Structure 1
């Protein structure tokens, strides 16, 4: 945006010089006026073309982010897309807060340093009792420490809204492979369900037994058992019609024996061995003794279909004779989890795709370049080659036939490159410039493939179709210490080929 502003100012200055040349001509300074006239005219034309390029690039970026917004329809109020290389980020709204405009996505906010901004906002917005805990987790070092063990990370905390603390849940996911420099963080309001759950837990630890169970069932528990661990006698309480179909008695005399019998009938077959071991009395009580809470997720057959449920067991406070066992249906949340993962994959893909051609974009090239340079530095990178391609006469087509024709010209060039190097990733890194990284089969056949491309270019030239200049260079271990050096060699070859094509 700064470059575009400077270009606009330069255009205004050139127009003023142009007017000055006309005034000087009228005053009789014809020689000086003649020089200023053509200098200003040349500058005005060049700057106007540059402004058109800025406009075209902006439209492509808006188109890409519009596609990202479409893929992020979900339950999260806000999603942050963070580049951990420089900590820059964009914030998107997922709860109807986006402005649906014809030219694409309006980003809610963006910034240069997500973690610095978050640190400032923590002091302003996070509830005082949660601030230190929040800051200890939401920093780059801690998140990457977590991501080395798990794909996702959840954090519950409170924000202050209208002077009152409101519960929120934060979910962080790191990209994989080429996208592992990015983190996507989703934030949603969980105040209602969290408060209901806390009431259930508080009820399970104090007061009357039936009062505890009633409060628990009023929240998210489908079924709850109150078990005497000395006699194994138990009471079952359920408000779920689905669970009443399991024909488990409301009162029994051996919770653990009946549970083992019911497992054979009601548990999804693949989960039976795990549950048979987990629900053994000695195992369950040992876990509660060591960890205070026993929890396990499994699939229960309900209405003829396997559904995910979560079982939690704990001792009430000041009561060593009983345990409370609650079962929660989490099937819908597990489905949302899978859908969220799919949306994140779509976001990562779109952020690294060129909107015009569908091949990888400059952002994806930068990620690949960093990864390849790390392998080169470590001495683990094997043979590869770089092909640089440049589309000829694009400016002439844009000027004479319009930018739609120019866009079609770029797409045709891209398709020709992809057809030749069908086993290699193709990147569009500039308006008319493409790069191909050759490995494996395409590397072994690189000379013949380059010849195939140049033969097709000669045919196209004779038929007045798209013409692409090309250059190829091999990576030389020890001599080439970075991808950029191989690129420069290929770029020089491309310019030599471009010169040959013009002279023919």
Structure 2
């Protein structure tokens, strides 16, 4: 077998593990970034820069999880790296990128290399970013080819052991970057890879994982699994160094689909992270297909040159959602205000026009990668709710403005809000009297308690009222008369305490929370209530109710319930007085 050809094929296959690779000149700090082209399984130049380590600080502050930023702003700075890498050439780092507001783990492999005429770092990043740059560059300089070879050789060391297996006759060769697996006494090459693997599995794999490994290490199974995907992997435990350690076995085709490439990696320290099994997921969609898929959510998309204002208007057409250019224009910022006056609802037009001013756009995009605005727009003769989303294009020289019709969604949300408000009001109101009920009182009590607990309480008082003789009326005149008696008592309370919320908290019991003006005149108001009650004592079917008032005092009361209980006790004292009067 041609070892160099085999090694190249292995390297090509391994490149699909990395979403991006950086080549950094450790002397000048100049760098070249390479991105993976999954369709062609090769590296291509993404961009170049003059000072890698300064740019690393800027990018880390923007996209790296806060806890992991010191890795990039301190540990991966040039002086620290050179010192740390004096006696080693490779370093693995796991960190988190913030994607859509969520942390996503990435693995960074750092390789420090030296040659006679230069010194460099190579950084390989494994990520789950589904959007892969598809731009191809025709020219490949000899320097780039040299860098490609260096990266390919370095990436092969990602696996501890690699088996290169002939898919036709099962012969194989082993390539190992470590002597750790030598103790397993597995042959370095042979003629029957699958037969030997089955025997070795019974000897060195954890009993609970044997069935899984035995089922996977069959040629028919591998061919079936790789029929529609580039690779797959499993996790299992291998007896190594006197103990079982977690390993990951990854299987993929060589680039010519004549050999299987099987890599074995020690992942014992990363057992719980389990990210690599998904990182080899098929990425067959081209950039344009991904773009069309995303664009299908929008009715219109503007692609605007932020410098000149020149723009193109796209629309997603057909079931596939493929993009079609509808219009080209010279100056978006001149044309937009004219269009806004024609199609945007009058009450929303000023906000939309202000949002789409160039200065306003740039100011907002300097603080965030994207933002949205909901407004009403004329569509097919009537106004509908639309969502406008503005974001930077990848080159930071253009902005993308997408407009989507969300009228049905907004109507559903508004209907839900209306029903929720109605249900909430119903749950908080007393059906018989129309005033608030016990649920509402408990909510108010919680709000008052929060004020007390935070030290921001305002003066308030609690009034408790209890109807006299309701049971007598119900028994002698019926519940209809009893209900009217309750309503008339409620009207009396509401009339006197006109600026305070009234709550029916029991069958014949009411509570009132006095604040502001009613609190300031509380003594006059309760005197008026009790005067009216005394008048009603001599009238037939007029409401007679006992009352008790208590003020919140910060130095005495820690709980609203304490004020309630004090008012309740004073109400019972008043009830006793009323009974004595009625029997006097």
The structure carrying a bigger helix percent of its residues is 1
Structure number, greater radius of gyration: 2
Q: TM-score when scaled to structure 1?
A: 0.47
- Higher RCO (Cα < 8 Å, 6 or more apart): 1
